[in-house]
Amino acid sequence: MRKPCCDKRDTNKGAWSKQEDQKLIDYIQKHGEGSWRTLPQAAGLLRCGKSCRLRWINYLRPDLKRGNFAEDEEDLIIKLHALLGNRWSLIAGRLPGRTDNEVKNYWNSHLRRKLLKMGIDPNNHRLNQNLPRSQTPDASGSTSSSSMKTNMTLADKSSRSAGDHPEVFDAENVSGDIPRDLPDLNLDLTISVPSSSLTKVEEEEQNPYASKVATKVARDIENAESPTLLLFA
């Protein structure tokens, strides 16, 4: 039995105060990130290390992009979710300035509903004949979101939350499942490792978060058992 990450009796919980935020920012600016377990004490915070890490990553990081998601960001999230499932950190890694928590929340509060409204099962990105499909133009694929089109799903064998996604993806089955009179759901799921003229070191210096996750995405995709990626033209 491992001991808890901190002594919960002595730690604050709940919303962060401005003073706490400032202490955390000051400390990280001086000493850099890492050593989250010892950081709270060193920074004079009565917080659990995990809590500090979360606060920094999700809220205080200087490279965070706050505010509404753009259309292309929405599209990308939908595509990546079809590809990766609920692996929010990987998805967020493709969206500069966005955090896994933010993407997860946005998915659950907006995009899930949007797909459902379009008659698409948000769990597997397949047209769901049991769900009512709205007759509005939005539901025909010509939504405000330009490329909200899908006819695919993907087995994500390595996912820890594989329950959301079918273990085996059968392309033949898909083509058979989708009625011919449905809108063209051609979804380009091409995914590539971010290319950069910067060296890996330079890239990591400029954006350690994006770089780190991008590396993981690339590794995951490389390691994926064939045929994990099934792209449908």
Partner DNA sequence: AACGCAGCCAACCGCACCAGT
Partner DNA sequence: AACTGGTGCGGTTGGCTGCGT
Contact residues: DNA, CB under 7 A: 2-3, 5, 8, 12-16, 34-38, 47-51, 53-55, 58-59, 86-90, 100-102, 104-106, 108-110, 113, 160-161, 164, 213, 216
Residue 13: both structure tokens together: 């919980």
Nearest approach, Cβ of residue 132 and DNA (Å) = 15
Q: For residues 99 and 89, what is the distance between their CA atoms, to the nearest angstrom?
A: 7
> Is the CB of 104 or the CB of 133 nearer to DNA?
104
Nearest approach, Cβ of residue 100 and DNA (Å) = 5
Residue 176: both structure tokens together: 């058979």
| 3-class DSSP assignment, residue 120 | strand
Nearest approach, Cβ of residue 61 and DNA (Å) = 12
Q: How distant, in Å, are the alpha carbons of 78, 189, 208 from that of 172?
A: 23, 18, 41
Nearest approach, Cβ of residue 112 and DNA (Å) = 9
> Is the CB of 89 or the CB of 151 nearer to DNA?
89
Residue 27's Cβ-side half-sphere holds a number of Cα atoms within 13 Å equal to 22
Terminal alpha carbon distance of the chain: 50
> Is the CB of 185 or the CB of 217 nearer to DNA?
217
> Is the CB of 33 or the CB of 182 nearer to DNA?
33
Alpha-carbon Rg for the chain, nearest whole angstrom, is: 21
Nearest approach, Cβ of residue 232 and DNA (Å) = 24
> Is the CB of 34 or the CB of 137 nearer to DNA?
34
Nearest approach, Cβ of residue 36 and DNA (Å) = 4
Residue 32: both structure tokens together: 């850099």
> Is the CB of 201 or the CB of 233 nearer to DNA?
201
Contact assessment for residue 182 and residue 127, using Cβ atoms and an 8 Å cutoff: yes
Nearest approach, Cβ of residue 156 and DNA (Å) = 10
Q: DSSP for 213-226?
A: HHHHHHHHHHHSPT
Contact assessment for residue 168 and residue 155, using Cβ atoms and an 8 Å cutoff: yes
Q: How distant, in Å, are the alpha carbons of 95, 163, 175, 190, 225 from that of 231?
A: 21, 22, 13, 7, 15
> Is the CB of 45 or the CB of 152 nearer to DNA?
45
